[in-house]
């Protein structure tokens, strides 16, 4: 990508949320942008409208001519694509420069000042918040996010700014390609043990990531983490948490679905922050986002305005209906600690109402490793409806089913396991007070229909 002769970019696996953001970056720069994806989706159809050439059949003949020149075409692939994929094999055998999405983002952090957010959970919301604060400030920014920002209807922001906000993903050690100028680390609860093997290896991966922060920059790390960072000379270190740390909140007020607080900072305290997306967990996410934006140079008024107007992220504590009769929301939470935070937040907002969750576990390995933690987290709610496990990239593991979670839910909780196909019928046949759909699988595809059913009751 440093090569000035790049005229075309080809994506093997074009339709993922992260890949599409980079595709848009190159479309915006006027390059020929093409790619393969397995299935058409709203996202791929939108990319085609914006000028990307996409096909859905694994076939070398369908690669456009401009993308068959090794000297002028950069190939970007996602680790989800199998090594024997015939298009990927064609590019490998013919001497093309082939990069993972994460390598491309790494190059961007060398060309811009990278404001990166890493962590097992909270990173999508925190990076999207930071991008929104920066974008509406005098500094502006580019951004590559892991979710669709409701403020912009996209997962990416492009500008002439020197700053780029990036969600730093620890999956497959992708974040080791980055060279952040500043980074937040929100959490290090072990995940992706199918890749890392042990908790120690997972924490070591984060330690190595902190070594990559550039001198002159800063690390903003949550106070309660088990990991030990290792910073280059000239990197400042700050910590944050809800009630303590260099950056924290005071005078938190949660009433009538509204949340406000004072932002305490070693640089400048900012009173009267109002949360545009009033969810308790977003107080802490907001502290981290404001800390990074403030260190980059945003003013008190810009922080206040950015937080007040933040609209949230699709599928992150995403309210679909909110009236006196019914509250319905969907949340991408799929790790026990995320489910715990999500359940805790919804319980704080609706103390005296009956809360029902429909949860689709994601991955056999994750369910096997954490089924007791999932059950503990879900047990904060009044009723839990489980569907079968969403396999994503995995084959079934004998003895690993949703029953592992079901059997460990606290006594007295209402609970059942149903097939995903029966979810809509269940919603039609029941009345709910507060309903949340949880998980990172494909149950979310039914959320629009669930919303309609509940609206029409």
Q: Which of 112, 35, 43, 115 is nearest to 78 (CA)?
A: 35
**Cβ 223 vs Cβ 239: under 8 Å:** yes
pTM for this one? 0.76
Rounded Cα distance between 154 and 379, Å, is 34
pLDDT on residue 55: 96
Which parts of the chain sit beneath pLDDT 70? 1-4, 190-194, 197, 256
Q: Over the range 379-406, which residues count as b (16 or more CB within 10 Å of their CB) and which as e?
A: bbbbbbbbbbbbeeebeeeeebbbebbb
The SS3 assignment for 160 reads coil
> Going by C-beta distance under 8 Å and a sequence separation of 6 or more, which residues neighbour residue 118?
168, 169, 170, 175, 183, 184, 185, 186, 206, 209
Rounded Cα distance between 303 and 260, Å, is 13
DSSP for 305-327 reads: HHHHT---BTTBSEEEEESSS-E
Q: Over the range 109-120, which residues count as b (16 or more CB within 10 Å of their CB) and which as e?
A: beebbbbbbbbb
Domains of the chain, with CATH numbers? 8-100 (3.40.50.720), 112-308 (3.40.1190.10), 318-455 (3.90.190.20)
What are the contacts of 27-30 at 24+ separation with CB within 8 A? Answer: 27/51, 27/52, 28/158
Rg (CA), the chain: 22
Report the relative pairing of strands 258-264 and 270-274 from DSSP bridges: antiparallel
Nearest 5°: CA angle at 87, between 83 and 88? Answer: 35
**Cβ 218 vs Cβ 238: under 8 Å:** yes
Rounded Cα distance between 14 and 37, Å, is 5
pLDDT on residue 3: 46
> Going by C-beta distance under 8 Å and a sequence separation of 6 or more, which residues neighbour residue 339?
333, 359, 374, 377, 378, 438
Rounded Cα distance between 328 and 435, Å, is 5
Tokens of 251: 């005078």
pLDDT tens digits along 196-205 = 768 888 899 9
Rounded Cα distance between 187 and 284, Å, is 11
List 327's β-bridge partners, or say none.
Answer: 322, 434
Tokens of 392: 């994503």
Rounded Cα distance between 127 and 218, Å, is 16
H/E element holding 236? strand 236-240
Rounded Cα distance between 334 and 322, Å, is 23
Nearest 5°: CA angle at 130, between 291 and 244? Answer: 30
pLDDT tens digits along 90-122 = 999 999 999 988 899 998 898 899 999 999 888
């Amino acid at each position: 990508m440093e090569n000035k002769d790049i005229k075309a970019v080809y994506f093997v696996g074009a339709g993922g949320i992260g890949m599409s953001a980079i595709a848009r970056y190159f479309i915006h720069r006027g390059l020929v942008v093409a790619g393969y994806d397995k299935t058409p989706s709203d996202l791929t159809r939108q990319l085609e409208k914006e000028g990307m050439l996409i096909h859905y059949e694994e076939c070398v003949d369908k690669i456009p001519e401009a993308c068959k020149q090794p000297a002028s075409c950069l190939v970007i692939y996602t680790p989800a694509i199998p090594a024997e994929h015939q298009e990927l094999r064609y590019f490998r055998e013919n001497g093309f420069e082939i990069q993972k999405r994460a390598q491309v983002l790494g190059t961007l952090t060398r060309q811009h000042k990278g404001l990166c957010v890493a962590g097992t959970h909270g990173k999508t919301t925190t990076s999207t918040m930071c991008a929104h604060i920066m974008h509406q400030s005098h500094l502006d920014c580019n951004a590559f996010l892991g979710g669709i920002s409701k403020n912009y209807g996209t997962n990416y922001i492009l500008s002439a700014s020197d700053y780029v906000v990036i969600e730093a993903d620890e999956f497959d050690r992708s974040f080791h390609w980055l060279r952040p100028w500043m980074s937040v680390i929100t959490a290090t609860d072990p995940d992706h043990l199918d890749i890392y093997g042990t908790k120690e290896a997972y924490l070591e991966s984060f330690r190595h990531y902190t070594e990559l922060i550039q001198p002159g920059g800063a690390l903003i790390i949550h106070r309660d983490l088990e990991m030990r960072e290792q910073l280059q000379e000239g990197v400042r270190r700050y910590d944050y948490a809800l009630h303590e740390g260099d950056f924290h909140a005071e005078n938190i007020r949660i009433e009538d679905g509204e949340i406000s607080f004072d932002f305490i900072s070693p640089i400048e305290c900012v009173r009267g922050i109002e949360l545009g997306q009033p969810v308790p967990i977003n107080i802490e996410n907001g502290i981290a986002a404001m800390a990074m934006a403030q260190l980059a140079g945003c003013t008190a008024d810009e922080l206040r305005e950015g937080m007040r107007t933040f609209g949230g992220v699709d599928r992150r504590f995403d309210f679909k209906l909110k009236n006196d009769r019914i509250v319905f929301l969907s949340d991408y939470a799929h790790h026990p600690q995320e489910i715990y935070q999500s359940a805790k937040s919804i319980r704080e907002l609706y103390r005296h109402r009956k809360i029902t969750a429909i949860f689709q576990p994601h991955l056999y390995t994750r369910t096997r490793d954490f089924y007791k933690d999932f059950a503990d987290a879900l047990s904060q709610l009044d009723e839990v409806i489980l569907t079968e496990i969403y396999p994503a990239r995995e084959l079934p593991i004998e003895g690993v089913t949703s029953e592992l979670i079901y059997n460990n839910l606290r006594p007295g909780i209402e609970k059942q396991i149903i097939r995903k196909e029966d979810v809509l019928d269940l919603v039609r046949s029941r009345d709910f007070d507060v309903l949340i759909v949880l998980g990172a699988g494909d149950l979310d595809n039914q959320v629009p229909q669930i919303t309609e059913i509940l609206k029409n009751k």
